[in-house]
Structure 1
Amino acid sequence: MSERGVLSDLLGERSVIDMGIRKDATVEEAILCSHRRRRHCTCTVLLKDIEVDLSRMRDCLSQAEEGISLWRKDSRFKNQFSAQKTWQLIRETKAKCSWSRGIWFSQATPKFSFMMWLATLDRRSTMDRILCWNPSIDATCVLCKNAPEFRDHLFFECSYSFQVWEHLIKGMLRNSYTNIWSGIMLLISDRKKEKKKLFCIRYALQSAMYVLWRERNKVKHREKLMPKVVLKKMLDKDIRNKLSLLRSKRVKGMEGALQFWFVTRA
């Protein structure tokens, strides 16, 4: 069995045809057809080696040897399957995002991370996007009722969400505090920060975004908006519960995270 891989990838479609093999031929046809019309220009060392491989495979078939499944790994084929290599081959590879680690991080809550991932890609159904589908709709932010709703406004330029964000984060960031989306993305991507501090910033951000989006949807469905004071207390409690859980699990680098959070509340 050859490990050379797909002939058209190795030689190009023209060279395969020059070997006398049809472009859409099956592996069986390529192996069993020994009387092919070859072009003289194909007499290279590589093509001769491929002819030897085909001849050897033909002999193996005549001896009724059992076939072997080969899996592609980079430019070669191996008899061992790798889910990682296969996934890399079938997916469309794009440049690594600088913000990816700030969203998908250890001990995060998956639904929070997913929500923020969509927001980062600007794929949430904010009113500025809905306005493109229905120009007659009211695009005013339902949380502050003072400005059009779009991602950067909702997180956290809106007077309602701004106060929630400031309550959670300002004690940790001090002079580096910001409520501007681009600045926040830089903060969560800064891996130079202490692990427990970076986790608290990231988790507080995702928790706030998730709850604010939920409150926004509640108002859209004619429910009452939760008072800011109540929302702040609820978020603070949820974050403390998460940090307490990490302490009980003895997660490395997170030993003093709960105490750190309490200090920033002062």
Structure 2
Amino acid sequence: MHYHHTEIALHYHLTLIDLPSASQTEDVYSWVVNGVDCRGFSSAKTWEALQPRESKKDWADLICSTRKTPYKDKNSLLGTKRLFILSCLSGRIETRDHILLHCGFAAEIWTAVFYKMDRHQAPFTTWAELLSWIRRSSASAPSLLRKVVAQSVLYNTWRQRNNVIHNHILLPARTTFKVIDREVRNTFFARRKRRKFKNLLFCWLA
């Protein structure tokens, strides 16, 4: 009996729905962004609408070998002031500075970097100190060398964080530093004939 009432209710509901149009004209679709018809889907215009371009960032000069000038803060480690993530070492909610500068894993890597490049450098206590260190230049550690090394350290530390969260694998800091060392060597060796990179491999190996 219940099914009979349900069938009647469904039949009544269907009688209230308007029939499809009998028009033979094909439907027309438009992709409109900010009131402008893109004449088809445009990923570039859609991205710009979702992520409006901001002013040039003051840390843009710290990006090495980039083809584009950084204009967005949200997805850049250098531009993010406070980024709360799950610490791969403590399991607590931590800040960007803790993950990339202060935690035992990162601190051990930076210590190895300072041993090769700048043995008088004290551990970074703030993100501003890291940026200041990258901008400095000396005969044994030119600014370009610092940029390449810092980017490799930040990338591989962040990669290790993801490796712990997603794969539950924690590599020793010394193993990650070997990866960084190989990346830096390969970067400078591949560009050794360029004027700016000419002596950087020697500086890193010295």
Bin the TM-score by the shorter chain. 0.5 to 0.7
Give the deviation of 1:236 after TM superposition. 0.6
Does structure 1 conserve the Cα–Cα contact (< 8 Å) formed by 2:107 and 2:123?
no
Paired with 1:188 and 1:252, the residues of 2 have a C-alpha distance of 20
Q: How many percent of aligned residue pairs carry the same amino acid? A: 21
Paired with 2:130 and 2:67, the residues of 1 have a C-alpha distance of 19
CA RMSD across the alignment: 3.2
Does 2:196 align with 1:253? Answer: yes
Report the number of matched residues.
151
Give the deviation of 1:193 after TM superposition. 4.3
Name the amino acid aligned to 1:119: L
Gaps of 5+ in 1: 1-90, 128-138
Rg larger for: 1
Does 2:128 align with 1:182? Answer: yes
Question: 1:117–1:239: structure 2 CA closer, same or farther, 3 Å change rule?
Answer: farther
Q: How does 1:1-266 map to 2 (within 5 A)?
A: 94=55, 97-103=57-63, 105=64, 107=65, 118-122=76-80, 126-127=84-85, 139=86, 141-142=87-88, 144-145=89-90, 148-180=93-125, 181-190=127-136, 193=138, 197-247=142-192, 250-263=193-206
Does structure 1 conserve the Cα–Cα contact (< 8 Å) formed by 2:101 and 2:124?
yes
Question: TM-score, normalising length from structure 1?
Answer: 0.49
- The match for 1:34 is none
Question: TM-score, normalising length from structure 2?
Answer: 0.61
Paired with 1:205 and 1:116, the residues of 2 have a C-alpha distance of 19
Q: Which has the higher helix share?
A: 1
Paired with 1:208 and 1:115, the residues of 2 have a C-alpha distance of 20
Does structure 1 conserve the Cα–Cα contact (< 8 Å) formed by 2:114 and 2:121?
no
Secondary structure of the residue aligned to 1:166 is helix
Please give the per-residue CA displacement for 1:72-129, whole angstroms capped at 9, x wherever unaligned. Answer: xxxxxxxxxxxxxxxxxxx8774x54322012x3x3598xxx99971122278632xx
Paired with 1:159 and 1:216, the residues of 2 have a C-alpha distance of 13
Paired with 2:75 and 2:131, the residues of 1 have a C-alpha distance of 11
Gaps of 5+ in 2: 1-51
